[in-house]
Structure formats: structure tokens, C-alpha cells
């Protein structure tokens, strides 16, 4: 049984054999993966040692103290937080060994091809089709996806598509890994209210996906997608941050540095948001402790719901505190960032970008339903289309 002392010894051996100061960054990360110190709770040979998930902090603390490089988790967050758990749960051994190492090292960026123009909040209504070619056993995919973060930088995508239109919408979906360099994949930028385009729409025309890149059984893609979605909401709303970190840290810094802006009313509202942010941070810690015992549950939806509301309230107070200065926006150029940078930009950017928090990763309305039904045990909303074949649904 791997324990904390064993992990410390393994980590120190890694550092001795591959000194961070003299080892190429990618080579160090590959060595860490091969030593089972990437995800300690993953199986041996897949970046882990089969150890309790809670022991990951032991490795991370040792490496941070030694100045070892990380894998830039914000840049590859979709791969780490959404694709990897799904690949581990449903991928073949060949798929897991092909994709997990370059994903964790950061050599291959991932994106998520789920939402469509007519299937966002009601994701199961998606219409992108995947038809099997009997001669090659490939799947031929045609359709359109939208709101795809980092598609312009991604090498691979997790994709759900309809493989059987004759059954109810939740049952005719299959889950795939899609090659974003396929000539049938076209990525177009979507310019946002911030002026940049981190999101995209993706058109799929005759894209061939080998059956070996299917995750789970044919028609069982909705169940597979739940693993992705639950992990996505934990990733968005449950990131580990220090006390007074993230958005609340920027607001409190402005408060301390600009005494001329202070009033008793702003002080009261700031204290309320600081307490809310601390409650959210501690709740996230409890959620991660729960995750150490198994797969994420619907509680991640509650965390993501709170994250969106809190970010919007904090950014709104920051702009209000700064007055006309808070409306200034230093960079309105059309940029194509690979990741969202909330704290490294100005208050105007934070205010505008936070509006998307209540949409991405599940809309507020959908998350409220999930919390009501799966956490509080309230009666579900009527669903008249539950037993209707997808092809017969009104669109």
C-alpha cells in the first residue's frame, strides 16, 4: 500500500535523478508521469500508483518546494479536468496509453465538442450525426458544435454525436475522440463581449473517426458524457485557491491600495463578499475531500452555480468601486487566447467576462434543476419528450 512516506521517497528520487534546474521541462514532466506521480490515484502505467487521491498533495508540495515545473494546468484544463477522467473510465487500454501521457504533459491540448446551436441547455437534443461505414468500421460525422473553448489550439476533442435517431434523445448518443486536424474539421472564432475570441464554432463535414476512438458502448454516450459534465463543473467551480485568492483578491487589493474610494457602504458589501468567497473556498476543499473517495456527484453543480454568482457580484462591486475608471478597458483587440485570465487583466475585462460564468459549463437554470432534483430530492420537472424518438421531436 502506497502511503505518504513512500510518495515522498519516490518524489525525492525523481528530483535526484532529474534535477529541475538542469532537466528539460518536458523531459521532467514525462519522467514524473512515468514514475506514477502525475495522478497518484490513477493506475500504474497511466501516470499513477493506485494510491488514495488525497495523497496527491504530498507529491505536489514536495515538487513545489523543489521548484519543479508544473504542466501549466490552466492551459490544458479541459484535458485534465474533463477528458482524462472520461478516458480513464471508458477508454480501452490502447486509448488510455495513447492519450493520457501527452495530455498530462501538455503536449496535446483538448477541447469539448458538446453544445450545438440547437442543443445547449438541452444537450441531449443534439443533432450532429455519426454514421458507421460498414466497409472500414469508421464513423462518419457531420454537424456543427458551438461555444467550444480552445478549439483553435486543440489537437484532440471529446465529441458526442447521434448514432440512432429512432430512439429517445438520451439513448441514441455515442461518445468519441475526434482528431481536430482532420480536413473535415473547420474552426471559426466567436467574438465575445470582451473583444476576444476564446470560444469557437466548429463545423464537422465527413469527419472520419475510427471505432477504436469510441468511448463506451454505441448508444450509451449520454452516460459517458455525465462523467465529463460532472468533472467539468468541479473543474470550473472547485479549483483550489488560497485564502483571498482569485477575484476577491483583486477587489480587496484595490480596496487597500485606494483609500480615497472607501465608504462604509462599500466596506459592508466587501466584507459580505469576502465571507461568501471564503465559504466557497472551504466548500470546495470539502468537495475535493469527497472526490478523494470516488467520482464527483451533483454537488459539483452547486459549486459551479455559486462560483458564477460570486464572480459576477465581485466584479460588479469592483467596477462600482472604481467608478468611471472601472469602465476603462485597455485591450479591445481581437485576440485568440488559449485560456481565460481573470486576475491578470483590468476590472472592465473581469466584469464583462464573468457574465459568461452563468452559461459555460451548464447554465444557471440547468444547474438549479440538478441541485433541486439530485441534491435536495425535489420532484423533477415534467418531461414530455422523455419517451419520444429523437426524429419525432419538434425542432
pLDDT digits (tens, 9 = 90+) for 118-152: 888 789 999 999 999 999 999 999 999 999 999 99
10 Å CB burial of residue 393 (0-12, 13-18, 19+) is middle
Straight-line distance from the first to the last Cα atom of the chain, in angstroms, rounded to the nearest whole number: 55
Q: Is the pLDDT of residue 338 over 80?
A: no
| Given the residues 232, 257, 318, 320, the one annotated as active site | 232
91 backbone φψ class: left, alpha, beta (φ>0; ψ -120 to 50): beta
Domain termination site, one of 70, 97, 117: 70
Distances, alpha carbon 180 to alpha carbons 157, 184, 203, in Å: 7, 9, 11
Higher-pLDDT residue of 353 and 15 is 15
Question: Domain holding 305: CATH number?
Answer: 1.20.140.10
Model confidence at 290, pLDDT cuts 50, 70, 90, reads low
Identify the CA nearest to 274 among candidates 246, 254, 244.
Answer: 244
pLDDT digits (tens, 9 = 90+) for 222-266: 999 998 987 766 665 556 677 888 889 999 999 999 988 889 999
Residue 301: per-residue pLDDT: 73
Identify the CA nearest to 111 among candidates 172, 219, 201.
Answer: 201
Q: Are 213 and 83 contacting, i.e. CB atoms less than 8 angstroms apart?
A: no
**What is the Cα–Cα distance from 364 to 10, expressed in whole angstroms?**
43
Model confidence at 294, pLDDT cuts 50, 70, 90, reads low
Mean pLDDT, rounded, for 299-319: 87
128-162 burial string, b = 16+ CB within 10 Å, else e?
A: bbbeeeeeeebbbbbbbbbbbbbbbbbbbbbbbbb
- Would 62 be classed as within a structural domain? yes
**What is the Cα–Cα distance from 31 to 54, expressed in whole angstroms?**
22
Q: Is the pLDDT of residue 79 over 80?
A: yes
Q: In this prediction, what percent of the chain has a pLDDT beyond 90?
A: 62
**What is the Cα–Cα distance from 364 to 220, expressed in whole angstroms?**
26
Residue 231: per-residue pLDDT: 74
- Would 149 be classed as within a structural domain? no
- Would 305 be classed as within a structural domain? yes
Residue 211: per-residue pLDDT: 97
Model confidence at 174, pLDDT cuts 50, 70, 90, reads very high
pTM score of the predicted model: 0.87
- Would 159 be classed as within a structural domain? no
Residue 275: per-residue pLDDT: 95
Residue 292: per-residue pLDDT: 56
10 Å CB burial of residue 108 (0-12, 13-18, 19+) is middle
Q: Is the pLDDT of residue 379 over 60?
A: yes
Q: In this prediction, what percent of the chain has a pLDDT beyond 70?
A: 92
Residue 189: per-residue pLDDT: 93
Model confidence at 332, pLDDT cuts 50, 70, 90, reads low
- Partners of residue 175 on adjacent β-strands: 160, 215
Domain count, the chain: 2
Looking at every residue in the chain, the average pLDDT score rounds to: 89
Residue 139: per-residue pLDDT: 98
Residue 289: per-residue pLDDT: 66
* Structural domain harbouring 57: 1-70
Q: Is the pLDDT of residue 49 over 60?
A: yes
Residue 306: per-residue pLDDT: 84
Say whether 232 is catalytic: yes
CA 22 to chain centre: 32
- Would 364 be classed as within a structural domain? yes
- Would 220 be classed as within a structural domain? no
Residue 265: per-residue pLDDT: 93
- Would 47 be classed as within a structural domain? yes
CA angle 163, 165, 168 (to 5 degrees): 110
Model confidence at 320, pLDDT cuts 50, 70, 90, reads very high
Domain termination site, one of 70, 92, 122: 70
Residue 365: per-residue pLDDT: 86
pLDDT digits (tens, 9 = 90+) for 176-201: 999 999 999 999 999 888 888 888 99
Q: Is the pLDDT of residue 295 over 60?
A: no
Residue 194: per-residue pLDDT: 84
Residue 293: per-residue pLDDT: 54
Model confidence at 374, pLDDT cuts 50, 70, 90, reads confident
- Which of the given ranges, 259-263, 312-316, 364-368, has the highest pLDDT on average? 312-316
- Would 166 be classed as within a structural domain? no
Residue 380: per-residue pLDDT: 85
Amino acid at each position: 500500500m502506497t502511503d505518504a512516506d513512500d510518495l515522498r521517497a519516490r518524489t525525492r528520487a525523481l528530483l535526484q535523478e532529474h534535477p529541475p534546474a538542469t532537466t528539460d521541462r518536458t523531459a521532467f514532466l514525462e519522467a514524473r508521469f512515468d514514475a506514477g506521480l502525475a495522478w497518484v490515484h490513477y493506475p500504474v502505467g497511466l501516470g499513477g500508483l493506485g494510491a488514495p487521491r488525497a495523497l496527491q498533495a504530498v507529491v505536489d508540495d514536495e515538487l513545489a518546494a523543489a521548484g519543479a515545473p508544473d504542466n501549466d494546468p490552466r492551459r490544458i484544463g479541459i484535458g485534465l479536468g474533463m477528458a482524462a477522467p472520461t478516458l480513464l473510465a471508458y477508454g480501452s487500454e490502447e486509448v488510455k496509453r495513447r492519450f493520457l501521457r501527452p495530455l498530462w504533459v501538455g503536449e496535446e491540448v483538448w477541447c469539448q465538442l458538446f453544445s450545438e446551436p440547437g442543443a445547449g441547455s438541452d444537450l441531449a437534443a443534439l443533432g450532429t450525426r455519426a454514421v458507421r461505414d460498414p466497409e472500414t468500421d469508421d464513423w462518419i460525422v457531420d454537424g456543427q458544435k458551438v461555444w467550444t473553448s480552445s478549439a483553435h489550439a486543440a489537437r484532440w476533442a471529446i465529441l458526442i454525436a447521434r448514432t440512432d435517431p429512432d430512439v429517445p434523445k438520451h439513448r441514441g448518443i455515442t461518445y468519441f475522440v475526434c482528431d481536430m486536424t482532420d480536413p473535415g474539421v473547420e474552426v471559426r472564432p466567436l467574438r465575445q463581449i470582451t473583444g476576444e475570441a476564446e470560444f469557437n464554432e466548429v463545423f464537422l463535414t465527413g469527419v472520419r473517426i475510427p471505432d477504436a476512438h469510441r468511448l463506451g458502448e454505441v448508444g450509451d454516450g449520454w452516460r459517458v458524457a455525465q462523467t465529463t459534465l460532472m468533472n467539468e463543473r468541479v473543474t470550473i467551480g472547485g479549483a483550489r485557491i488560497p485564502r483571498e485568492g482569485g477575484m476577491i483578491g483583486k477587489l480587496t487589493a484595490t480596496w487597500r491600495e485606494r483609500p480615497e474610494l472607501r465608504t462604509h457602504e462599500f466596506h459592508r458589501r466587501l466584507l459580505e463578499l469576502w465571507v461568501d468567497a471564503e465559504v466557497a473556498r472551504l466548500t470546495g476543499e470539502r468537495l475535493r475531500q469527497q472526490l478523494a473517495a470516488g467520482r464527483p456527484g451533483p454537488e459539483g453543480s452547486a459549486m459551479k452555480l455559486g462560483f458564477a454568482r460570486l464572480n459576477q457580484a465581485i466584479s460588479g462591486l469592483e467596477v462600482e468601486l472604481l467608478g468611471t475608471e472601472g469602465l476603462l478597458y485597455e485591450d479591445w483587440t481581437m485576440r485568440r487566447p488559449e485560456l481565460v485570465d481573470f486576475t491578470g487583466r483590468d476590472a472592465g475585462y473581469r466584469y464583462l467576462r464573468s457574465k459568461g460564468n452563468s452559461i459555460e459549463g451548464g447554465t444557471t437554470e440547468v444547474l438549479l434543476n440538478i441541485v433541486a432534483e439530485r441534491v435536495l430530492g425535489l420532484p423533477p420537472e415534467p418531461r414530455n419528450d422523455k419517451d419520444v424518438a429523437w426524429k419525432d421531436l419538434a425542432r
